[in-house]
Amino acid sequence: MRLSTFPLAFTLWVSMLATVAHAQRVPDLEREQRMVDEIVDVIFDGDPIELSDGDREFLAIFMEADEPKGTVIIAHGRGYHADWESVVNPLRVGLVEAGWNTLSIQLPVLEKSAKYFDYVDIFDEAAPRFQAATEFAKEQGGQVVLLAHSCGSHMAQRWIKNQPEASLASFDAYVGIGMGATDYKQPMVEPFQLDKMPMPVLDLYGSEDFPAVIRKAPERLAMLEKAGNPKSAQLVVEGAEHYFKTHKSELVDTVSGWLDRL
Q: What is the pLDDT of residues 215-229, one digit of tens each?
A: 999 999 999 999 999
Number of Cβ within a 10 Å radius of residue 254? 21
The gap between the terminal CA atoms of the chain, to the nearest Å, is: 80
Window from 79-88, 165-174, 175-184, 193-202 with minimum mean pLDDT? 165-174
Distance CA 145, CA 71 (A): 6
Higher pLDDT, residue 201 or 21: 201
d(CA 175, CA 234): 10
88-97 and 248-259 helices, crossing angle to 10°: 50
Q: How confident is the model at residue 18 (pLDDT cuts 50, 70, 90)?
A: very low
Distance between CA atoms of 14 and 183, rounded to whole angstroms?
26
DSSP per-residue string spanning 158-206: HHHHTS-GGGGGG-SEEEEESTT--BTTB--SS---GGG--S-EEEEEE
**Domains, the chain, with CATH or none:** 27-259 (3.40.50.1820)
Rounded to an integer, the average pLDDT of 146-175 is: 93
pLDDT in tens, 48-62: 999 999 999 999 999
- The DSSP output letter for 24 is P
162-171: list long-range contacts, CB under 8 Å, 24+ apart. Answer: 162/124, 162/127, 168/197, 168/198, 168/199, 170/131, 170/134, 170/135, 170/138, 170/144, 171/73, 171/134, 171/137, 171/144, 171/145, 171/146, 171/199
Average pLDDT, the chain: 92
pLDDT number for residue 19: 38
Rounded distance between C-alpha atoms, residue 223 and residue 196, angstroms: 8
Quick one: how far is CA 259 from the chain centroid?
18
Q: What is the mean pLDDT of residues 129-139?
A: 97
Strand partners, 59: 50
**Cα 52 to the center of its chain, rounded Å:** 18
- pLDDT, residue 5, reads 45
At residue 12 the predicted structure's pLDDT band, cuts being 50, 70 and 90, is very low
